[in-house]
Structure 1
């Protein structure tokens, strides 16, 4: 009987997604006595799937948006930070297409800015993402957060459908946009602006029939702090049960992700198809909503730049009461294991 490594990933471009699409985990662990399995194989109940956010499952890896693993660690999750990537994607603030009163970001002062409420979500990363985007956009214009008028909008979708989603297995996408209720609130005049990001914007705009326009895209901002959001950076974490007891398996897993990232660098068209499956959109949407150097940025690293991005994210979470423990990132890292993976793959370490 083999041991099990569990994995979970967000529906965004990641090295984990490439590795899954290309069946690289099975190849990497074929003779190890370990099987790599999706957390959904444990069952579909919320108490089983919530480990995607809480990372309380032993012998597991998670790669995806940065705020849940930071929240989990702040709440005592026994994890290590194994790597960070920063894949730039559209970070858009959207208004009604016919709203002539909002022509630029300063016009948002006094307007109703939507913050989503997901009643069953144990860590509301969607709310963090929206709040961070609005605050950053205002701060770039020299406008303090105190000028923002935030309004709650309840989203009614099933957030569990976002975890290792069925459309990543080639099945037809049947779920609505993650921003459906906020877009409806915008169109009905309940709010004046909403936030949406990445390839999921395509699904939202398709539902909105051309009645929504993008006011600004934070990915065009110059300073990194303004671009930091839930999925910028993406964070790779690992259970410390593996770090302590089976470090070789951690190194093998990390090597697999490095190999997947290297493959994507030279196979853009195939990688576009794989990433479209991962995100539930089309290859054309990958071109539209992600910068074209995305395949140079899939590789997890622990460089100063990546760790700076984690600090910006963590500090915002702490200062806005998403977490109550601003822990040490340095003490969270399993740097030596990622360094060993780089060494065995013959890749220069990134400082």
Structure 2
């Protein structure tokens, strides 16, 4: 089959090899000799194209980021494959205000936990992520979901912005990122809820801004299963038609991500500056949420522990009733592409 004229990519506001590869021009360099342009979903102003970040509906798309939307879209019949994973632990916590009387997980019994919800969205990934965080926190505290009250906090702002086309920029600009947890924070301050879940560099900042107490430090849990959530591990998915008809392009894409990860490991300060741009935080908060060595942990992988975490996330979403149907997880995983890409590391690097 002839090569497509355009490939598409999207990534979540997380530390990813995709973000480094995009900013360093590695994807452009890898595909330019083939006459293929590599476009960000953010380069389009069409709503349907942008929504592909969630439903994977754009042909020729690579998506690296949180796993809830890809699991949801696969359960709806989206033709996709998982070609890589990546585990970068992040700050995750249940927090409460100092005067709440909540000092540890034991004190959550009978308390109100805020759950943001966007009823008009295709997949309310943030609600699902918060609930998964609460379930992990309650398990760490020896409690069950029935021991607390979940309070719905409706939000009427869409998750995908409609403007601001940019070839390389993230779909999420600063203002939208800053408002992601404004509803929960205001509910906490107003006394509508007693505790909220938060995560990522923005979550670490929010905790400091509120002067909040970390009631349960989920990100420090000894068990990877309890630390796992939407963004841990992140996964890389690809359009199934592209993978079947032009597997060489998928391998080339992954090889560029390996090159990006190698460069980031060798140039951690410069790489951190790129990651800060993607997550919308300074280095102080990037490191606080992900560790000082975050730039050394970007290489694509396909680890059995990661796959087990994806399976657990799928089962959790099924239990919440967020998936239309179950599906064969192992059939969704395609290890042959990362194996071939690992064998060609360095062949597509740029200066």
Would the TM-score normalized by the shorter structure come out above 0.5? Answer: yes
What is the CA distance between 1:42 and its match in structure 2? 2.8
Shift of the 182–231 alpha-carbon distance from structure 1 to 2, 3 Å rule, reads same
What is the CA distance between 1:23 and its match in structure 2? 1.4
Contact 2:22/2:168 (8 A) holds in 1: no
What is the CA distance between 1:215 and its match in structure 2? 2.0
- Secondary structure (helix, strand or coil) at the match of 1:113 reads strand
Say which is worse superposed, 170-179 or 193-202, in terms of deviation: 170-179
Contact 2:174/2:280 (8 A) holds in 1: yes
Contact 2:18/2:257 (8 A) holds in 1: yes
| 1:60 counterpart residue number | 61
Q: CA–CA distance in 2 between the matches of 1:346 and 1:163?
A: 36
What is the CA distance between 1:142 and its match in structure 2? 2.2
| 1:284 counterpart residue number | 284
Shift of the 72–135 alpha-carbon distance from structure 1 to 2, 3 Å rule, reads same
Contact 1:187/1:211 (8 A) holds in 2: no
Q: CA–CA distance in 1 between the matches of 2:193 and 2:6?
A: 47
Instruction: Please list every run of 5 or more consecutive structure 2 residues that lacks an aligned counterpart in the other structure.
Output: none
Shift of the 313–165 alpha-carbon distance from structure 1 to 2, 3 Å rule, reads farther
Contact 2:44/2:165 (8 A) holds in 1: no
| 1:82 counterpart residue number | 83
Q: CA–CA distance in 1 between the matches of 2:78 and 2:262?
A: 31
Contact 2:255/2:346 (8 A) holds in 1: no
What is the CA distance between 1:122 and its match in structure 2? 1.0
What is the CA distance between 1:304 and its match in structure 2? 1.1
Q: Deviation per CA, 1:273-321: give whole Å up to 9, x if none.
A: 1111001111111111112332333222112111111112111111221
Say which is worse superposed, 58-67 or 337-346, in terms of deviation: 337-346
Contact 1:168/1:278 (8 A) holds in 2: no
Q: CA–CA distance in 1 between the matches of 2:320 and 2:87?
A: 22
Contact 1:169/1:277 (8 A) holds in 2: no
Instruction: Please list every run of 5 or more consecutive structure 1 residues that lacks an aligned counterpart in the other structure.
Output: none
Aligned length: 343
Give the ranges of 4+ consecutive aligned residues of structure 1 lying more than 6 Å apart after TM superposition: 162-168
Q: Deviation per CA, 1:54-87: give whole Å up to 9, x if none.
A: 1021111100001110111111000001111111
Q: CA–CA distance in 2 between the matches of 1:89 and 1:10?
A: 14
- TM superposition score normalised by structure 1: 0.91
- TM superposition score normalised by structure 2: 0.91
Aligned match for 1:34, one of 11, 27, 36: 36
What is the CA distance between 1:162 and its match in structure 2? 10
Shift of the 193–21 alpha-carbon distance from structure 1 to 2, 3 Å rule, reads same
Q: CA–CA distance in 1 between the matches of 2:51 and 2:167?
A: 20
Shift of the 125–37 alpha-carbon distance from structure 1 to 2, 3 Å rule, reads same
| 1:110 counterpart residue number | 110
What is the CA distance between 1:177 and its match in structure 2? 2.9
Aligned match for 1:196, one of 172, 183, 198: 198
Q: CA–CA distance in 2 between the matches of 1:234 and 1:163?
A: 26
| 1:184 counterpart residue number | 186
What is the CA distance between 1:324 and its match in structure 2? 3.8
| 1:132 counterpart residue number | 132
Contact 1:10/1:164 (8 A) holds in 2: no
- Secondary structure (helix, strand or coil) at the match of 2:54 reads helix
| 1:121 counterpart residue number | 121
Q: CA–CA distance in 2 between the matches of 1:163 and 1:229?
A: 29
Q: CA–CA distance in 1 between the matches of 2:30 and 2:4?
A: 14
Pairing of 1:311-330 with structure 2 (within 5 A): 311-330=311-330
- Secondary structure (helix, strand or coil) at the match of 1:160 reads coil
| 1:306 counterpart residue number | 306
Q: CA–CA distance in 2 between the matches of 1:120 and 1:39?
A: 21
